[in-house]
Amino acid sequence: MDVISVIRTKRDRGELSPEQIDWVIDAYTRGVVADEQMSALAMAILLNGMNRAEIARWTAAMIASGERMNFDSLSRPTADKHSTGGVGDKITLPLAPLVAACGAAVPQLSGRGLGHTGGTLDKLESIPGWRALLSNEEMLHVLDTTGAVICAAGDGLAPADKKLYALRDVTGTVEAIPLIASSIMSKKIAEGTGSLVLDVKVGSGAFMKNIEDARELASTMVALGTDSGVKTIALLTDMSTPLGLTAGNALEVRESVEVLAGGGPADVVELTIALAQEMLAAAGIKDADPAKALADGSAMDVWRRMISAQGGDPDAALPVAREQHVVTASASGVLTRLDAYAVGVGAWRLGAGRARKEDPVQAGAGIELHAKPGDTVTAGQPLMTLHTDTPEKFDYALASLEGCYDVAPAGTDFTATPIVLDRIA
């Protein structure tokens, strides 16, 4: 087997054989196939695609590159959720303890932010003392004692994906649907969860800008999960507008705690409950009421135990940025558009995100929104507040927010886009 023939097969729109896929994934993981060769193959896959059999074998080969976890020792059924990423997408934070409060075990392996999309681990690390890195034994212990764990994937889980993910990020091949699907599902299947709900974002703040591409990605991932024996469902959800009223690390933790306390923005509550219902149904738990678990404080109790079990102090004050800048509405009327991508880039430029995996983030940086589409605004009123420790970043962030919203005359009819756009099972 040689890598040039594998590249040529896909370059010429051929189907890669199972043997070719197994060999190239293993050889790349071992360093036999060079980065420039794998980047050529990734570009060929981006341009020419893969069929279902190829994607399934590619995913299986990435799983086989490392270990597989097992939760058979738990007394509860397991259910996990994965989001394809967006702006203000703090849903994992209230969702994991909520589903655990309703009777499932939630082994949530999460990642860090890159570019305009926030990362769950970055958000939680704004809580003093909280640890993202757990051994498999520690993860199982937290899961067994609290019902939920949110942590980083260990180095032994799908190492081929870690290497390929970093390569895709710097070679313009992130958007390849077969590679997105296999990247996500190799980790989730290797993780060992019994059921999985996918939150596939659609819109300006998402990787998938239109619903057709999102539906293709969701269908591909549902098929991969189903073929591997994991009950898998996908919801397509709107990401044209930021979720909730915050984009940033500590800002989003604070908002998540509000949701767990029975309050919080309506869109965050709606999506959290919708995903919780899907996760519980997939896990075979039929009689639980997620809305009740939010209202009666049981989800908050799990949150506090989960944070404490990972070294965090749920009562500690969250970091606050040293500097703020207020952006005011330019006209009076109805706010009809607030672009998620622009807000995400603005938060990133303020220090909430990173351009490279190695970059640090500011815990208190981000953007706080004071109005959402459908709200009536008055010229000069605060529309958003920018937070950062480094005020020299304000101009850079403000440039990304130029033209990010529209205000229509008072009385203009406005119909909000539904949060859940479609369901694929």
pLDDT tens-place string over residues 317-347: 999 999 999 999 999 999 999 999 999 999 9
Q: CA-CA-CA-CA torsion for 167, 171, 175, 176, nearest 10 degrees?
A: -70
Joined together, the tokens standing for residue 408 give 């229509």
With a cut of 80, say whether residue 425 has pLDDT above it. Answer: yes
Are 98 and 293 a contacting pair, CB within 8 Å? yes
Active site residues: 82, 161, 168, 183, 187
Q: Please state which of the four CATH numbers 3.30.1490.20, 1.20.970.10, 1.10.8.60, 1.10.3430.10 is assigned to the domain occupying 3-49.
A: 1.20.970.10
pLDDT tens-place string over residues 39-93: 999 999 999 999 999 999 999 999 999 999 999 999 999 999 999 999 999 999 9
Residue type, 116: H
- Binning pLDDT at 50, 70 and 90, where does residue 153 land? confident
What pLDDT is recorded for position 359? 83
Superfamily of chain region 323-408: Pyrimidine nucleoside phosphorylase-like, C-terminal domain (3.90.1170.30)
Q: Return the domain boundaries, the chain.
A: 3-49, 80-154+164-309, 323-408
pTM of the model: 0.94
CA separation, residue 95 to residues 258, 268, 293 (Å) = 13, 10, 11
What pLDDT is recorded for position 421? 98
CATH number of 80-154+164-309: 3.40.1030.10
pLDDT tens-place string over residues 199-244: 999 999 998 999 999 999 999 999 999 999 999 999 999 999 999 9
Q: Mean pLDDT across the stretch 175-188?
A: 93
